[in-house]
Structure 1
Amino acid sequence: MKLNLFKSLPVALAGLFVGTAAMAQEPATTTPQFRTWSIGVNAGALTPLSPLGGRNDFSNNKTSFGYGLYIKKQITNYFSLRLDGVAGKLKGDNTEAYDSGFTNTSTVSAFDTKLNYSASLNAVVNMFNIDMFKKENAIQLYTSVGAGLAGYKPTVTTAGGTSAYAGGKAISELIIPVGLGAKFKVSDGVNIDLGWTINFVDGDNLDGLYKNGNNDKYNYAYAGLEFALGKGKQLAFHNPVAATYDEALAAKNAANALKGDLDAQKAENAKLRSEMADLLKDTDGDGVADKLDKCPGTPSGTVVDGSGCPLKTPEKVVEKVVVTEEDRKVVNEAIKNLEFDLNKATIRAKSFASLNRVAALLVQKNFSLKLAGHTDNTGSKELNLRLSKARAESVKAYLVAQGANASRIEATGYGMGQPIASNKTAAGRQKNRRVEFTLY
């Protein structure tokens, strides 16, 4: 069951890439247009060892020819997915001594493994563009890591002759490829690709010899060509940092140009202000410019006409207000008849007639009136102050409603602070609850 699952993985991965490619045929909406799909072919050296640790099963690991191809989708400027395929041969023997002094007691003296395929899906990360201030670079370094399957058939040589490992059947094992490389852009559509991949095999049977339970490894160092598909620049070589830098630089230049225009405008405004200062100069401070002032030297504070000469203001006629005894009688009657609802500022109806006569007097003779509200000492000081003020305002509102001039009526509340009788008796408290009218 495990073997069938691994065998189906390359087919599933290929289907994923084909489906993605079909979706990519839809019209692109990004601007500018970039090339994001590419294919590559390569050839190089396959070696059954790794410099990253572990002991090899054979002392002399030979280098053999290998070849490969891949399909790549560049998702961002720095990240892509790549489907790789590699094939070739892996060889080794025990004709040399181990560097560590290890003595090989195995009856197997050599192996020759045919790598039918090595298929893996890899995540490729562009580490950086060589020049961070160029929008399009020509050299790029990258790393990769992935997972996949390797199918191979080892043949071993023993003292009795050559024989196929595991009955001559091909083996499939999971592999983890880790690599790095460099690309050199020749044109917008062609790159030279140099790379090196270490493949970690999930098994100890790559060389036909099971030994110590150490998983086998193999290297693939290659050189090849990558062909970018489509139109436009290659997204992998496009540097967004430099593009952002150029945009910021353009914005800075535009800001500097605007600043130059602003400075020129400020200089022009300063020149205009200097010229206007001469035209608007007003030595005596009367509000009329010297060029138009026919009466220069006017004392400060003098009211002048448009030519700067003093205005002759008519003397203010003060109307004398005379309050007669009859007028006071009308007011006193209103005070005597004024009543409010208990603990309220509502005027009772019996007070309306005398208040109407006060209102008529204010309208006819243009008198001014001061209303002073007072209370007894029943309740808190704050409450009585509010009540006295409210009652005085209530009387003012009534008089205004009858036609009196509101600006000539002043309403003030004094609370219980100015009694005219003792608050110890009901009669005294009744006298203290009042609104005084002062006519003037």
Structure 2
Amino acid sequence: MKHNFKKAGLLLTGVVMSSKLFAQTPDTTAMSKDYVQPFSGANNFRTWSIGVHGGMMTPYTIFRGKENDYRTPNERWGYGAYVKKQIWHSLGLQANFFRGHVQGTNPADASYPYQRFESKIKYAVDISANITIANINWLKNRSVISPYVSVGGGSMAYSTSLYANGAENYTARTDDFHQFYIPLGAGVKVGLAPGINLDLGYQVNFVQGDNLDGYNYGSTNDKFAYAHAGLEFALGKRSKPQLARHNPVSSMRTEYLMSERALQIQLDQQKAQNEQLRNDLNTTNSNLARLTTDSDGDGVFDLNDKCPNTPSGTKVDGSGCPLPTPVTKVIVTEEDRRVVREAIKNLEFEFGKADIKERSLSSLDRVADILVNKNFSLKLAGHTDNVGSADANLKLSKDRAESVKAYLVSKGANPSRIEAVGYGKTQPIASNKTDAGRQKNRRVEFTLF
């Protein structure tokens, strides 16, 4: 019994270790490969599948209990196939078929004349509900491992041979039976590729009778276990995911990301449109500003201004060009000339300087009155004698003419109508050899016009 227990333990350990190894396989499938729009119907999935399997049959089960007809189970091979229709993510209906042998020795009653039995299961067919416990992997987009449990009911046909005690290979009797049975199973399906799964399962078959081993001993019905490994193949278009392995949470996440991306694209497009509208508005404002700009402030927009940069206050026509200045005839009277001559006569400067002496200012005031009242133009020409260098005399003559202009402007004269120049000693009107001649040469001439 311990020997058989160890065998069963090794089998289950192998199943678990295989599951762990496959569970570590990374999911490199693109997110959109298994995407199906949530709540879109089963026609978007592969719901039909077929499977084949083979494994070990034994009267030893995890529900063995204390009362068994034969104490020593022997392992024999079995095989089978199934067709499954997946109804929901977690529920499928499966039509199963299997065959095999169940064998045991060492009857519980030592006085029983038959040492060994062997039951040949000719066929066993059933309909089972296959319930996927977890097909949602919260860490990956695709579930690699899908644990399941199954329960159903069906009919089996088998023949049982009993072998007499002490007679090697001597068949005492052979009986044929048909019995109802209940298969109860559990296992895992490991995704090897899209539409291909490794099926590792363990199934206990509860026979509704006590004649599987040909020996009615105790008060319980017979049962036997079938541990198997096989392959499942999904039917249908390869472009569709298998419903049993589909991760609906991943599709909902993909749906959310797609909606978020679509919204982001819409926002980006709206931002681009807003930016374009803003640029268009700026361009329109710029064009409008260019059309209504009057840089020189003459009242004519630059677009129509044919004479830009006219001085401030200048009266212009409709094209922005200055209006002709009315010509005023200037008449210089003899009295005006007399006032100028008197100012020239009385004009004196400090020696070697451009400072006007105090006694000359009253005459200049009368000249300023003429310039202000009659808007005359005046040319001031400064001259010196030949004492000193030419450069010094030229500068002094210029400074004295500018000094007179500055005084007249301070009295209200228009500076644009007064010209001040210096000629130095280049234009004498008398001889520089005498004091009287040099005195005449030191002058500022006034030309009124």
Alignment TM class, shorter chain as reference = 0.3 to 0.5
**TM-score computed with the length of structure 2 as normaliser:** 0.47
Structure showing greater Rg: 2
**TM-score computed with the length of structure 1 as normaliser:** 0.48
